[in-house]
Structure 1
Amino acid sequence: MSDPLHQAKRPVTALAGPYGHPLHPILVTVPIGAWTASLLFDLASHVVDGPAFLARASLWLVAIGVIGALAAAMFGFLDFLAIRPGTAAYRTALVHLGLNLAITAAYGASWAWRAAGTPDGPVPIGQIILSVIAMAALGASGFLGGKLAYRYGVRVAGESTQAEGFTLQRKG
């Protein structure tokens, strides 16, 4: 299987998830959801009475997102290894990988910054700005991840396999 397109559709190891069912896409929902909720909690901390509970919850959500991102990264890296270097898919994957590392580092720094303070009031504006910047980068990285899957077909089942879902079955 030396064809780069078919090579990128197959897992390099069973740990990455079976053919047609990669683990990376489902795992990225954890950090995306946690970090989105943390930003909403950050903003809400500025409009409620007694905002400390939202600041503490946001601290936990940032941590959950970082842990989830590290887990997703392990499986994403296995998918990355299936892409032939020098291709457009590989270059896109490198940018996707780099952005995700930077985003995870930003949220790790955000967690440390938040943990160093005592959340007795609303989340400071500087921490919110960091989250907004990281979320914008996450959107760009998600776009690139979508490009890898939907345009380049990385870890997506081949068209002959997909055709099984569109074949009419005879009743009888």
Structure 2
Amino acid sequence: MKQPRIVIVPGWRDSGAGHWQTLWQERMPGAQRVVQDDWASPTRAAWVGALTKLVLQGDEPVVIAAHSLGCIAVAHLPPEAAAKVQGALLAAPADPERRAVLHDFAPVPYAALPYRSIVVASSNDPFCPVRLAGAYARAWGSEFVRMQNAGHINSDSGHGPWALGLALFQSLYSEELLAIS
């Protein structure tokens, strides 16, 4: 079996220098980041298209680390791309119905994902109520981790390298596949 490829899927407006996604990418050899043409005014077709294209490159399985709107883009993957996903960490999913600029991503799919996934949400995320994140997790067949008062689980809420997230992400792999020092 081929070693999975790591795909980082940022949310709306990308993930900056101190964000856990950026820090992980810098420390994970071969990790690839989805790059969007328009980070400020996202459209579902463009975002899901860019993600699909990256996932379908190569023939190895993919393990995804998604944040915010990136989680919703992952949920919208077409079947041929979803079939290549081995696992996904879906941190602080967005609620596209709460912000007009994200409305193109609604409705959020409520179908089981065909791979192991972990949804991590915060009790006080300003961009998605924890109950909605829990509903996503149930619908997607995901494991659900509820963090207390963790904000949007980004650098603004103090989650630089985010050790808990890294441990959850590593659980999507065989132990020997990901060694980060």
So what's the TM-score if we normalise by structure 2? 0.26
Identify, as 1 or 2, the structure richer in helix.
Answer: 1
Higher RCO (CA 8 Å, separation ≥ 6 residues): 1
Structure (1 or 2) with the larger CA radius of gyration: 1
